[in-house]
Structure 1
Amino acid sequence: MTSPTARIRPTVPSPRSLADLAAAFGLAATRPVPAQAQVSAVASDNRVVADGDLFVALPGARAHGADFAADAVRRGAAAVLTDAAGAERLADLDVPVLVADEPRTVLGPVAAWVHREPAEQLATFGVTGTNGKTTTSYQVDHLLRALGRRGGLVGTVETRAGDQVLPSRLTTPEAADLQALLAAMRELGVDALTMEVSSHAIAMHRVDGVVYDVAGFTNLSQDHLDFHGDLESYFGAKAELFTPARSRRAVVVVDDVWGERMAAAATVPVETVRTVPAPAGAPAADWTVDHVEPHGTGSAFTLTHADGRTLRTATSLPGGFNVANAALAVVMVLASGVPVGDVAAALDAADGLSARVPGRMEVVAPGDAADPRVVVDFAHNTDALELALAALRPTTPGRLVVVFGATGDRDPGKRGAMGAAAVAGADVVVVTDDDPHDEDAAVVRAAVLAGAREALAAARAAGREVSLVEVAPRADAIRRAVLDAAPGDTVLVAGRGHETIQEVGGVDLELDDRVEARTAVHARAERNTSA
């Protein structure tokens, strides 16, 4: 078992009565709760329990959390909350035991109550969608800070509470950890929170206890079907964010049918954003993007509301999908009640949406007369890979090279499609390993290669020459791609982005695509110098 991520919690606890908690949530107790009993935080992982915590013992697929309750008490837990089956195992425990029919569904609200509803004291922004959650969240946070807010950020890359930064283990923390984090943010003077909200987090009740002031939707495409089963269930999980139980307002990008469906399904007030021409018969969007022009490494664009309000700004990240992410970020802040003039002034002062997102279209080497451009991106599904390649093509005078793989033990249905997308978008395709997890890496690569080879035959029939190679391990694939590339080429290393650990057969190996790419660029420079 891997060690838990370090936990941010308030430094000054504010204890609450255990009897009041039980009454507030209608929880039974296996014995009378002492009037003086108090809890100051909530934990569902016994390894992070501290003095005065309420330990929530959840039933699991492999074990019941009640089996770890004694250890939690040794670490300082003042009480336990569990289900009836767990309570039966804890008859001899020396601390009060509360019982809920489904403890997971009350975990978030209970933790929020114990920490005195910290989310209600922050301006809260939640972003969901298959691709673009991280980039949009960073841009929202960037804009809020430009407006003078003290921001907190929770997401795939990092968790930031004021000036405290921790790497993230989950896109969205478990419910108890999230509420402790929000309470710590409040203590640190944070007044605006931006979060990535994954479909897993919604389905697994991690964000229960938070109602976002503004929820944003980027897009939806095939991903995580190993968890959700099918696209309809995946869509349904995300759609829950746009209900009064989880948000107050919504901003939805309606560039495709999934966005249009989300806007229609939402049961909270919605503002829509369209960044591409509308198909015939499509409803008009509230905000539209036009006058998109190259601007530095990214694009400048104009946002226009149906009522005539306009705003022009720019994003430093390349590609039409990053224009969509930037537009969504701006409209989410506008939807929170900030006037257009204030947003425009803040963006002008901040040089537009210039937040750099680790591992998202991150340029490791800019390229010159002697060397290729090298870019690392998190594109880890078919749609994201297609968009990343399309974004880099216009600024690549030479060949477009992609190094990528597919994740083991995850959604095998997308592997062949990713291979086909790579062949359709690149000139040189290097298939390697992503995170094999417990699956045979060669089997995963074979599935990707099967889709790539099928697309390769079609490409050659159409007169396109595409090179397809298989290279493993991943570090060797990155090195080979960079060393073999020519000046004017672009090498895209896709799939892992900011990640620094590769899991192979249950073993965590250090592997950072950016480090490997820089090492390869350095090796290339040494080779050129000695030639």
Structure 2
Amino acid sequence: MPAKLEGKVATAPPRPSRTQPVPVSELATTVDAHLTAPDRAHVLVSGVTLRAQHVRPGDLFAALPGTRVHGADFAARAVEAGAVAVLTDAEGAAKVAGVPVLVHPEPRAVLGALAARVYGTPSSKVAVWGVTGTSGKTTTTYMIESALKAAGRATGLIGTVETRIAGERLGSALTTPEAPDLQALLAVMHERGTTDVAMEVSSHALRLGRVGGVGFAVGAFTNLSQDHLDFHPDMEDYFRTKAELFDGRARVEVVCVDGEWGPRLVKPGTVTVATTGDADWTATGVAVTATGEQSFTAHGPGGVSFDVELRLPGEFNVANALLAIGCLHARGVDHEAIRAGLRDVEVPGRMQRVDEGQDFTAVVDYSHKPAAVALALDAVRARATGRIITVLGCGGDRDTAKRPLMGEEAARRSDVLVVTDDNPRGEDPAEIRAAMLRGALGVPDAERGEVVEIGDRRLAIAHAVGEARAGDVVVVAGKGHETGQEVAGVVHPFSDVDTLADAIRGAAR
């Protein structure tokens, strides 16, 4: 049955089994907050949450101001559930009764530091490898984690696809969890023996303080291209937000300097990587097999060089691999472990092959930005002997300006483009498709292939498979690893990988 979304996480995130309670007065001092009820300064806090439904006895409840409601409206419910103190602003403080209140003009900005203090500053005990950028965050974190495993480290992973603790898989509601959940998660990882955590760091996480209180062993930058302009007013603001990861909170900074944005992050001590031009880490001798596997030689500081094999196609994955190599080498990981990790890495929904014995290539990819669509299709074009047949949609309630651009990039690179639905969310799917079609059909006839509109994504994928012949490549782009499709506030079970496999089997029958 489809699940109705209610704007909340259905299950509470994990917490460590033990914490050392902290006096509320000490927490107030930590972030320079005004503490009401000073006669209750001795009250002990043993946990933190910003969701009233997840409060446990002994918690600090973070009542944050919102665009529609104030978190303090739920303070009574939180106190009833056992919250012993509340963090909020002056407006929220007027709505709280019965417990000490930490009043701060920007409670969201200090929430991470408070949670870190309550959970024992876990990022000082677990090495956190943070990766930011528009595209490549997921792939690079998987590469880093794979190499760390090969080096014998006990690893964790936090990102878009999943969260993993010592092999146990958790779902990912957000690319980067909210600050209290993240600090608790890092504490759980430490408790379970994790030594290193590879984590995606989104611009939302940086702007909204979700990674506040985290000290990073490594901060890495992949690239920047148009995305999230529904959240950021322009590209410059988007870049400045990403740049916050490089404000001194990471002990090692590694930056890909391909393109215009990365070089702006470089300062003395920055490790640089590039697929073209000069950098600390570069690649030569890139070779691609007929099935998309790649090999190259990585060259690093001090004359270091070694051969690398990748299962993942595309020049952008050479850049991702170099970024991972730069991070790993800077932290002293052995080159043989790096090679083994890169050779074995697999990333769900990122250039993922679907093989049901058919005589054409079928790929699922998460590309949902104009630049990512172009890179993905260029990568498959480089090894295709036949036509490129692309299935692509755009998500609703997100950056509207990128829709015609995505249609244009896909139309220029496809022999057949099937425009379909992605996650319409609260928008009219036909209007989203119309915006994509404006971009696609704006490409001159001589520079594009056939453009077809099929709203039903399952039928669109089946149509693409039905069109495919020997040597062709079918690319289903946009949703990647996702297992649901959100339409009008309802999430319906849907997997591009499973749907594509079913269509191929159906066509064979």
Deviations 1:312-359 (A, max 9, x none): 212110111111111111110111233xxx2x22145x3643211111
Does residue 95 of structure 2 align to residue 89 of structure 1?
Answer: yes
Return the offset for 1:35: 5.4
Partner of residue 345 from structure 2, selected from 342, 348, 355 = 355
Q: In 2, distance between residues paired with 1:115 and 1:291? A: 47
- 1:254: which partner in 2? 257
- 1:407: which partner in 2? 395
Question: Could you tell which deviates more after superposition, 466-475 or 352-361?
Answer: 352-361
| Equivalences for residues 414-425 of structure 1 within 5 A | 414-425=402-413
Does residue 13 of structure 2 align to residue 4 of structure 1?
Answer: no
- 2:238: which partner in 1? 234
Does residue 46 of structure 2 align to residue 52 of structure 1?
Answer: no
- 2:374: which partner in 1? 386
Return the offset for 1:154: 0.5
Partner of residue 416 from structure 2, selected from 424, 428, 434 = 428
SS at match of 2:14: coil
- 1:155: which partner in 2? 159
Partner of residue 519 from structure 1, selected from 483, 489, 502 = 502
Deviations 1:207-263 (A, max 9, x none): 11112111111111111111111111111111111111x212211111111222232
- 1:473: which partner in 2? 456
| Equivalences for residues 3-402 of structure 1 within 5 A | 3-4=8-9, 6=11, 7-34=13-40, 36-90=42-96, 93-244=97-248, 246-263=249-266, 269-276=269-276, 278=277, 284-294=278-288, 297-338=292-333, 342=334, 344-348=335-339, 350=340, 352-365=342-355, 368=358, 371-402=359-390
- 1:529: which partner in 2? none
- C-alpha contact (below 8 Å) 2:143/2:342 kept by paired residues: no
Q: In 2, distance between residues paired with 1:214 and 1:353? A: 22
CA 509–33 in structure 1, closer or farther in 2 if over 3 Å, else same = farther
- C-alpha contact (below 8 Å) 1:301/1:312 kept by paired residues: yes
SS at match of 2:374: helix
Return the offset for 1:5: 5.0
Q: In 1, distance between residues paired with 2:114 and 2:441? A: 53
- C-alpha contact (below 8 Å) 1:152/1:192 kept by paired residues: yes
SS at match of 2:40: coil
- C-alpha contact (below 8 Å) 2:127/2:196 kept by paired residues: yes
SS at match of 1:502: strand
Q: In 2, distance between residues paired with 1:143 and 1:317? A: 15
**Which letter does structure 1 place at the counterpart of 2:298?**
L
- C-alpha contact (below 8 Å) 1:285/1:306 kept by paired residues: no
Gaps of 5+ in 1: 279-283, 527-531
- C-alpha contact (below 8 Å) 2:148/2:341 kept by paired residues: no
Question: Could you tell which deviates more after superposition, 482-491 or 59-68?
Answer: 482-491
Question: Could you tell which deviates more after superposition, 405-414 or 174-183?
Answer: 405-414
Return the offset for 1:306: 4.5
Deviations 1:431-476 (A, max 9, x none): 00111111111111011001111114251xxxx6x11100011111
Does residue 492 of structure 2 align to residue 486 of structure 1?
Answer: no
Q: In 2, distance between residues paired with 1:122 and 1:158? A: 19
So what's the TM-score if we normalise by structure 2? 0.95
**Which letter does structure 1 place at the counterpart of 2:259?**
D
Q: In 1, distance between residues paired with 2:297 and 2:405? A: 34
Higher relative CO (Cα under 8 Å, sequence separation at least 6) belongs to 2
Question: Could you tell which deviates more after superposition, 17-26 or 307-316?
Answer: 17-26
Gaps of 5+ in 2: 1-5
Q: In 2, distance between residues paired with 1:162 and 1:491? A: 35
CA 473–456 in structure 1, closer or farther in 2 if over 3 Å, else same = farther
Deviations 1:346-375 (A, max 9, x none): 145x3643211111111112654xx42211
Q: In 2, distance between residues paired with 1:136 and 1:123? A: 16
SS at match of 1:479: helix
CA 203–3 in structure 1, closer or farther in 2 if over 3 Å, else same = closer
- 1:439: which partner in 2? 427
- Residue-pair matches, total: 502
4+ residue runs of structure 1 moved beyond 4 angstroms? none
Deviations 1:151-179 (A, max 9, x none): 11100000112232111011100111100
Deviations 1:12-54 (A, max 9, x none): 2322222222233332222125354211111011121112111
Q: In 1, distance between residues paired with 2:205 and 2:338? A: 31
